[in-house]
Structure 1
């Protein structure tokens, strides 16, 4: 008797796909998928013992297919040769397993890495003493068709995610440790600061674009909020793994986001007089 979780067809061996097919279908190559299988085996092995049919490799391929295309579970199941309920359970289990690793794969630069992080941002846009760019992106479509989860991300110049908050709204005032652009650039130096700020900030804009191109499920995520948060965290962990392992993106999926006008900073920049000293000092010394 076949369980409701059982595969409709035989297992899904990696050998049946070419390298290019693996990247297109799952966003990862053979060695990368094997790495994920070994990484998640301790957390997913129990599922194999229950159903006697879904190997850890099967589960990861099914979940990766969902993350890559973001279509309905039934469509993913038909493509992968499993029943809809299996896809639902696999996406849940794999997402929870990956989300549990977020502190292992997402962290700010360590002390011995800070100098390199600052150097990379300076080479990117002449912005001094910068170790991260911050922004928010909306995930999860609720039953009224509205974006309900505001995901805050911080990344370095190499598009590695160094911090994430998948539950809160983002508000970015000017702080000694958080530089915002001038609402109006009144001097050439301030204009140069805004231009450098824009070039450095393009890292986080590119990250959001790359993240949603690599994992199309994030473009229109329909799931209950907690599951949506776990899926988002799973994709964040997978993105960092892919970036650190130099997993390629198809050329048509790697276009950067528009940079915007450096003289028109975001409307949310609300600066107070007492918080301007650090920014003014940066302008005096570097611009």
Structure 2
């Protein structure tokens, strides 16, 4: 008995507290599909799809009484991606401790990032013609299969390459550059003046000296706006990309995870927000590209696209 009393006073002096398990929320039971879109960017059916997709990577080998299910892990990660707030805030909302949120975001991001090659790729042989048609409708640019641009994701200061890096250097350091230099694609990619002119990478005329060059720049800009708008859509859908309190490797996994999730959302027609906006795919950009002149600062006459040949 004395031993028990001694242990009690020992733990009391050390500030020992018995662990208290908070009742976790059950979002899929609490919210409608529209409310899930607002809070998690995905509805019931899409969340179920993600649970089945990631189950092999996230399923715990043991089922302890307070372990997180795959569904719980997906919802915690989606909440973080959607609002980009502190882990503690996400934990309080979901009924888990801060450390659990940190671990879950890490694990789910790695699992999603591992699927990048499955959900993110250049147009395959049977998709190239459709990509060229879509870009031609955007701006009368022929033989175009893609567009390239960079966006800044604010992260914790790394040990190397602090701050932003020039777009051209990012391209040169990428595996994409090495692959396209070796295996030139069946078509061209559009880039702004920050990029070098290459056999497969078409940039603007820095100074348009002829009407044909001006029309080329107009067409180029109208087609390339797809990538600029897509960068904006990613940050709108996943607010965490506006500022990541994470070291570089974790930030890369989170960014890849959001890109994979965006493509999944696009394929499954998941609305961008609760007002049922359509996902911003290339096809959905056609109308806005024709009617908005904000991206390129064009005059009304320049918007009347003409062949530049």
Do they fold alike, i.e. is TM over 0.5?
yes
Match of 2:35 in 1: 21
Where 2:59 maps in the other structure, the secondary structure is: helix
Match of 1:126 in 2: 140
Written as runs of structure 1 = structure 2, the 5 A alignment for 1:46-85 is 46=60, 49=63, 52-85=66-99
Match of 2:114 in 1: 100
2:222 paired with 1:199? yes
Q: Distance in 1 between matches of 2:22 and 2:62?
A: 15
Match of 1:172 in 2: 195
Shift of 1:7: 6.2
2:239 paired with 1:216? yes
Question: CA, structure 1 residues 181+248, in 2 after alignment: closer, same or farther (shift >3 Å)?
Answer: same
CA contact (8 A) 1:212 1:219 kept: yes
Q: Distance in 2 between matches of 1:15 and 1:53?
A: 19
CA contact (8 A) 1:139 1:149 kept: no
Please list every run of 5 or more consecutive structure 2 residues that lacks an aligned counterpart in the other structure: 1-17, 179-191, 281-287, 300-306
Shift of 1:225: 1.0
If you compute each CA radius of gyration, which structure gives the higher value, 1 or 2? 2
Match of 2:248 in 1: 225
Match of 2:4 in 1: none
Shift of 1:53: 2.4
Where 1:61 maps in the other structure, the secondary structure is: helix
Shift of 1:139: 1.7
Q: Distance in 1 between matches of 2:109 and 2:65?
A: 19
2:272 paired with 1:249? yes
Question: CA, structure 1 residues 183+262, in 2 after alignment: closer, same or farther (shift >3 Å)?
Answer: farther
Q: Distance in 1 between matches of 2:150 and 2:265?
A: 21
Question: Which stretches of structure 1, 4 residues or more, deviate above 4 A after TM superposition?
Answer: 146-153, 251-258
2:58 paired with 1:44? yes
CA contact (8 A) 1:136 1:150 kept: no
CA contact (8 A) 2:116 2:256 kept: yes
TM-score (norm 1): 0.78
CA RMSD of aligned residues (A): 3.2
Question: CA, structure 1 residues 65+13, in 2 after alignment: closer, same or farther (shift >3 Å)?
Answer: closer
Q: Distance in 2 between matches of 1:164 and 1:235?
A: 22
Where 2:150 maps in the other structure, the secondary structure is: strand
CA contact (8 A) 1:44 1:94 kept: yes
Shift of 1:36: 0.2
Question: CA, structure 1 residues 123+211, in 2 after alignment: closer, same or farther (shift >3 Å)?
Answer: same
CA contact (8 A) 1:11 1:58 kept: no
Where 1:137 maps in the other structure, the secondary structure is: coil
Shift of 1:143: 4.0
